[in-house]
A and B are shown apart, each in its own frame.
Chain A
Amino acid sequence: MKLQEYRSKEILARYGIPVQAGLVATDADSAREAARRIGGRVAVKAQVLVGGRGKAGGIKLAASADEAAELATQILGLTIKGVPVRTLLIESAVEITTEMYLGLILDRAARAITIIASAEGGIDIEATARTRPDAVLRLPLHPLLGLQRFNVRRVSFFLGIPEPLRAPFASVLDGLYRAFVAVDADLAEINPLVVTAAGNLLALDAKIVVDDSALTRHPDVEAMRDLNEEDPAEIAARDAGINFIKLDGSIGCMVNGAGLAMATMDLVKLAGGEPANFLDIGGGAKADRVAAAFQIILADPKVRAILVNIFGGITRGDEVAHGIVEARARLERDVPMVVRIEGTNADEAAAILREARLITADSLDEAAALAVAAAGGAT
């Protein structure tokens, strides 16, 4: 789960990382009031979870509270990469002399939390990493010992942190590491980490991504989820324990297992159709989750056929078959359904499906072809 900038900074501040005094606003009036309370020049920053908001006009400087209100109206009217701006962060503006990049990531290849650092921060960091890899430090930390003082010295000297700032820098990196571990992050990055004209370190922008598997033990972080930026169908799916991503095609897919769900989408495409979604009903799925999955798929008006592909291991085919038959009887909108159930209790499942007169298929290739035909042929 990605956290907005103001949420990320709220967490970093708890671990002693210096951030600007900031207030959240959702309209012109609250932006004006925030700017007045902060005083002086302020930055008005769109809070969206997509990159490139600066280039899209989502970050502006205001000299007065009235100008902040004006800019707030402008920015709240923006849609950045498909995401309408609903929240703003108002912060005091700051003169900066140096921009650096400092991030921690769960590095699956190194099986470690890895520090990424560069003396050249800002939006071009990825290009820098490609063209001049020596300009970016990647430092995997020991999985049991974590951040050690020699690690901090290595990063500090790599970045060329001047002597008076070495102790404050050590405290920033230490805070970032403790925050990362405390919230079970996949990623925690400060970009840019700046030196201000007054000679202090400051986290000017920050991003934290939290491990979805760990959210149950961090209800305070879960409460920071920004539902405004999520597709309503994806929210409903998550509440039902379903992994769902909406796509653009006409063939709804309901599959158990992420790999098989992706393979099913690939075969729909190979058969000449377009998948309407990725949907993994998870392991051990029962009737209620199957019913929820149908509701979610059929909420998309573009869906003209549904392909159900279940290969039972933990999931028992007969339970899914019962779920399909029951759920279908209660659906408000009906589309052709191709159902293929294999694996654990597949014979019992087949009997239930035959009884209910659903279109069945023996193989995945056949199921995909039948679904494409049922949706009106190749697109």
Chain B
Amino acid sequence: MSVLVNADTRLLVQGITGREGDFHSRAMLEFGTRLVAGVTPGKGGQTTIDGRVPVFNTVFDAVRQTGANTSCIFVPAAGAPDAILEAADAGISLIVCITEGIPALDMLRVRPVLDAAGVRLIGPNCPGATSPGQAKVGIIPGHIHRPGPVGLVSRSGTLTYEVVQALTDAGLGQSTCVGIGGDPIVGTSFTDVIELLNRDPATEAIVMIGEIGGDEEERAAAFCAASVRKPMAAFVAGRTAPPGRRMGHAGAIISGGAGTAESKRAALEAAGIRLADSPSQIPALLRAGGLA
């Protein structure tokens, strides 16, 4: 078992013929992901990735002809919100948006449309999700994973890879690793993913990688305290970062003191989650919590 992406994932890549789309589509195929279609408007009818993947003009056509159920988006920021809406409209149930630099107000308008349609979005500005041995959707390097019992959720990109590597090096494989993205408005929260991992029988322990800013970690800590009994470890990046650039009085009123590394660490610790000072300490903390 696993969450979000698995052997039933039938993947479509929007922006498959671009440089990043091509590079990472190859990596996803090599990982064993069932990549069934690509979409690049104007290139419908061609094939790509050495003739292995058919290209369609629209997500609508791709879904109808291939039964794709998941989309990974590499479309540039100016076109990405439209690409997300197109995927949702065509009946895709899980959208992973890798694109960074999408204006927040664009995502503010996209998000309620997805909620109303019951479509899950991961990202934007995220590295995607990987279930080792089953499927990877996104850009997390495949070779750092091993199948195993640890579920991981992170707001960072490359810091996620760092922690996955540390787990694998310590002999701890992963059930599913999810990077939720660092933008102000994202589709899936820490709490959403932890809830899924908590219910997943294949996940025996959970790792959370936070960073300064916002109050997502504090909210997740409250959920974990109430509902999660699996061993957990966390790392929060940014203890030495300079105090965030203040966003006027309104920013201070909204945040009410949440957002610093120390506030997040305190909230996580109070929820019974073991805190790491370095990503390399995480495997030992999970074992101290009872993970075999």
Binding site for B on A (CB under 8 A): 2, 51, 101, 103-109, 111-114, 116, 125-126, 129-130, 136, 138, 143-144, 181, 184, 186-187, 189, 191, 207, 209, 211, 213-214, 216-217, 245, 247, 255-260, 262-263, 265-270, 275, 278, 283-284, 310-315, 342-344, 363-365
Contacts and interface: CB of A to CB of B under 8 A. Distances in A.
B211 A258 contact: yes
Interface in B135-187: 139-141, 144, 154-162, 165, 182, 184-185
B111 interface: yes
A363 B139 CA distance: 21
19 contacts: A109-B219, A111-B185, A116-B250, A125-B249, A125-B253, A126-B252, A187-B247, A211-B105, A255-B158, A259-B154, A259-B155, A262-B241, A263-B237, A270-B278, A284-B20, A311-B162, A313-B158, A343-B161, A365-B278
B190 interface: no
Contacts of B141: 312-313, 343-344
Nearest to A315: B158
A314 B20 CA distance: 7
Given A269-B239, A343-B161, 14 more contacts: A103-B248, A103-B249, A108-B185, A181-B105, A184-B103, A207-B248, A260-B156, A260-B161, A260-B162, A262-B212, A262-B241, A314-B24, A315-B158, A342-B162
A102 to B, nearest CB: 10
Given A217-B103, A313-B157, A269 B254 contact: no
Given A109-B254, A278-B241, A364 B249 contact: no
A284 B140 CA distance: 13
Contacts of B155: 259
| Interface of A, helix, strand, loop or mixed by DSSP | mixed
B214 A109 contact: yes
A112 B77 contact: no
B137 to A, nearest CB: 13
B215 A259 contact: no
Contacts of B219: 109
Nearest to A124: B249
Interface of B: 20, 24, 27, 77-78, 98, 100-105, 108-109, 111-113, 127, 139-141, 144, 154-162, 165, 182, 184-185, 209, 211-212, 214-215, 219, 235, 237-242, 245-254, 256, 277-280
B234 to A, nearest CB: 13
A255 B245 CA distance: 21
Given A314-B20, A364-B162, A143 B112 contact: yes
